[in-house]
Amino acid sequence: MSSIKDVAREAQVSIATVSRVFNNPAVVSNQTKTRVYSAAEKLGYTPNFSAKTMRKSIVGTIIVMIPDISNTFFIDIVRGAQDYAETRGYNILMGRFDIHHFDLQKYIKLVKSKAADGIVMAIGHNRHFAPVAEAKGIPIVTIEEEFMGNPYIYVDNFEAISEIVEYLISKKRSQIGFLGFKSERERLLAFKNAITKNNLKYDEELIKKGDEFGEAVYASAREYVEAILKIGKIPDAVVCASDVLAAGVIKWLIKNGLRVPQDVAVTGFDNIEVAELVQPGITTVEQPREIMGREAARLLINKIEGHEVAKKIAFQTRIVVRESA
């Protein structure tokens, strides 16, 4: 059986660093965490948390809830949560919730009936749900937004959007549009702030918010391109609130005879697989999705086992430059 020393040797870090990754990962860089987690999985290493803290009432199962099973962003979060949970001897159940008819009842019943120990919920940014009385006292950790005072994990959308706008400005782009989602506020506010801060014109005609699930995402991208063509006001860059939106915008710009990025630069958000697969590849903001899932699972399991946990943990984003901008 592999030891913590073996993991440290494989990851080329100190034993203390490996210990921090599994016990207090917030103080360790994303790159180092990835190396340590990969080494642990390769060697089949499992930290000895259970022997110290597991109680007979713990069944060893957590629920990971996401709003959209077709979205790679959320699936990557589930994958990260599962990878970490397994190192602690836990299984996961994946569930889906409807953001328009938010209902936790069946998942709460699973926890209360001891079919599961707690819930990780990937809420999505800018979604705020009313408290659910039955959820009080149940171990819950959320991703992107807080819920009922439980621990949560997030990224700084203001900083991320500001950085992508400033990147476009460095590429001599000055008439910049924005395509987001109806459910969001923060990224659009961040965009407006970044535009005005850099003394550029915030043009309402170049701003659109569409639907965010399934085929509606592609329809939103098509409608945005059709709208700017109709008014004859073509921006020299478009900031999109997701990579799927960006892929759609690129497709419809090219279909209408415009070149990307020569005529219009396009950026995305998340750095999911589609960002690298489409042509041209999408310049985007990367969120560490799997690491966020791992951290959410770690917080939840620690909470289940009675450990003190942080109230909130922020993760940094980074710009991944490809051909679209």
- Whether the bond between 261 and the residue before it is cis, its omega within 30 degrees of 0, is yes
**Tokens 């990962």 label which residue?**
25
User: Which pLDDT score is estimated for 49?
Assistant: 54
**Residue (of 272, 277, 270, 278) closest to 252 by Cα position:** 278
Exposure string over 202-227, b if 16+ CB within 10 A, otherwise e: eeeebbbbbebeeeebbebbeebbee
User: Which pLDDT score is estimated for 212?
Assistant: 62
- Cα separation, 283 vs 320, in Å, equals 6
Pairing relationship of beta strands 283-286 and 140-143 according to DSSP bridges: unpaired
Residue 195 contacts residue 246 (beta carbons within 8 Å): no
User: Which pLDDT score is estimated for 325?
Assistant: 96
Residue 245's H or E segment, with its range, is helix 243-255
**Tokens 């506010």 label which residue?**
189
**Residue (of 235, 238, 300, 230) closest to 269 by Cα position:** 238
- Cα separation, 132 vs 128, in Å, equals 12
User: Which pLDDT score is estimated for 59?
Assistant: 83
User: Which pLDDT score is estimated for 234?
Assistant: 95
Residue 178 contacts residue 188 (beta carbons within 8 Å): yes
User: Which pLDDT score is estimated for 53?
Assistant: 45
- Cα separation, 235 vs 131, in Å, equals 42
HSE (side-chain half, CA atoms, 13 Å) at 287 = 30
Domains and CATH numbers, the chain: 4-154+289-315 (3.40.50.2300), 157-286 (3.40.50.2300)
Pairing relationship of beta strands 237-240 and 61-66 according to DSSP bridges: unpaired
Copy the structure tokens of residue 48.
């000895």
Splitting the chain (325 residues) into consecutive groups of 10 residues, what average pLDDT does each group show? 84 84 76 86 71 60 88 90 92 84 84 91 79 90 92 92 96 96 84 94 92 74 94 96 94 96 96 93 95 95 91 92 97
- Cα separation, 148 vs 132, in Å, equals 8
User: Which pLDDT score is estimated for 99?
Assistant: 72
* pTM to 2 decimal places: 0.75
User: Which pLDDT score is estimated for 103?
Assistant: 78
Residue 270 contacts residue 242 (beta carbons within 8 Å): yes
